[in-house]
């Protein structure tokens, strides 16, 4: 028999109630049960970070978290970054700095950067530190330079009063 649990959570502010199998990952639940397909799976063993989402504000690998663990939580995904059709400053910076090519890993980098910027609002970000942060995830297309530059530019812009 399937071990099914009823859970409640919000995703990007929208409440959801659903029955989910205990073994189902948060990533699969978000993508296939709730339709948030912006979160991508690149390795399903916690290395590549493409599936990074924010669970109660903290970045997690959605492939390493079970859906049931999100019961009662607030989840943020890439679909929640923009203000309607208006790209956020971080999203715009990614485009301005050519920080994406195929775009598959991009949602994970955006959520990673979003969490960092929220947590470290107002502090200065250096290039080495930015590279260390970006090194949490894998991108196979860009060589990372654009991602590092986009992160630095957003951090600088958010520091300005």
Partner 1 sequence: MSAPAAGFDGRWVGAAVPRKEDRRMLLGRGRFTGDLIRPGMLHAAFVRSPHAHALVGTIDGTAARQVPGVAGLFTAAGLGHPYLLAMLERDEFVPTPMPILAGGRARFVGEPVAMVVADDAYLAEDAAELVEVGWDPLPVAASMEAATAAGAGEHKGAPRLHDHGNCLVDLLMFDDDRLPQIFAAAKTCVNATFRSARVAALPLEGRACLADWDDRDDQLVVHVSTQVPHQVRSGIAQALDLPERAIRVIAPDVGGGFGLKCVVGREEVAVAAAALRLRRPVRWAEDRQENLTAAFHGHEQRYQVKAAFDEQGRILGLDAEIDCDTGAYSVFPFTCAVEPLMAATELPGVYKVPAYRARGRAIATNKAPAAPYRGVSRPQIVLVMERLMEKAAAALRLDPLQVRRINLIGREEFPYTGVNKITYDEGSYRESLDLAEKQVSEQGWPAERDRFREQGRRAGIGYACFSERTAYGTPTMSQRRMRMTPGYDTALVRMDPTGEVIVTTGTCGHGQGHETTFAQIVADRLGIHPDQVKLRQGDTDLASYGWGTWGSRSVVVGGGAAGRAADIVASQLRQVAGSLLEASPADIELAGGMARVRGDDAAAIPIPELARVVHFQAHRLAEDLRYALEARATFDPPGTFSNACHAAMVVIDPGTCAIRLHRYLVVEDCGVVINPAVVDGQVRGGVTQGVAAALLERLCFDADGQPSSATLMDYLAPTATEICAVDVVHLQTPSRYSETGAKGMGEGGTIGAPAAVLNAINDALSDMGVRFDHIPVLPHELAAVL
**Residue 160 tokens, joined:** 């300005």
Please list the residues that pair with 54 across neighbouring strands: 59, 76
Residues 86-115 that bind partner 1 (CB under 8 A): 87, 91, 94-96, 98, 100-107, 110
Separation between Cα atoms, residue 93 and residue 97, nearest integer Å: 6
Residues 53 and 76: beta-carbon distance below 8 Å: yes
Residue from 38, 64, 74, 89 in contact with partner 1 (CB under 8 A): 38
Residues in the chain: 161
Nearer to partner 1, 145 or 159 (CB): 145
For position 48 contacting partner 1 by CB under 8 A, the verdict is yes
Instruction: Please count the residues of this chain forming the interface with partner 1, following the rule CB under 8 A.
Output: 56
**Residue 47 tokens, joined:** 């290395």
Residue 78's nearest CA partner among 147, 143, 11, 132 is 11
The least CB distance from residue 135 to partner 1, in Å, is 4
Positions in the binding site for partner 1 (CB under 8 A): 21, 23-24, 28, 31-32, 36-45, 47-48, 50, 77-79, 81-82, 87, 91, 94-96, 98, 100-107, 110, 131-132, 134-148
């Amino acid at each position: 028999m399937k071990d099914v649990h009823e859970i409640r959570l919000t995703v990007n502010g929208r409440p959801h109630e659903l029955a989910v199998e205990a073994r189902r990952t948060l990533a699969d639940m978000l993508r296939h049960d709730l339709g948030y397909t912006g979160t991508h799976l690149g390795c399903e063993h916690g290395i590549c970070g493409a599936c990074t989402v924010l669970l109660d504000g903290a970045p997690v690998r959605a492939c390493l978290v079970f859906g049931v663990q999100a019961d009662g939580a607030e989840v943020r995904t890439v679909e929640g970054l923009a203000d309607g059709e208006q790209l956020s400053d971080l999203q715009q910076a990614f485009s301005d700095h050519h920080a994406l090519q195929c775009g598959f890993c991009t949602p994970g980098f955006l959520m990673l950067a979003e969490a960092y910027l929220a947590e470290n609002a107002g502090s200065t970000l250096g290039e080495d530190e930015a590279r260390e942060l970006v090194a949490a995830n894998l991108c196979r297309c860009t060589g990372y330079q654009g991602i590092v530059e986009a992160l630095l530019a957003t951090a600088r812009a958010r520091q300005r009063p």
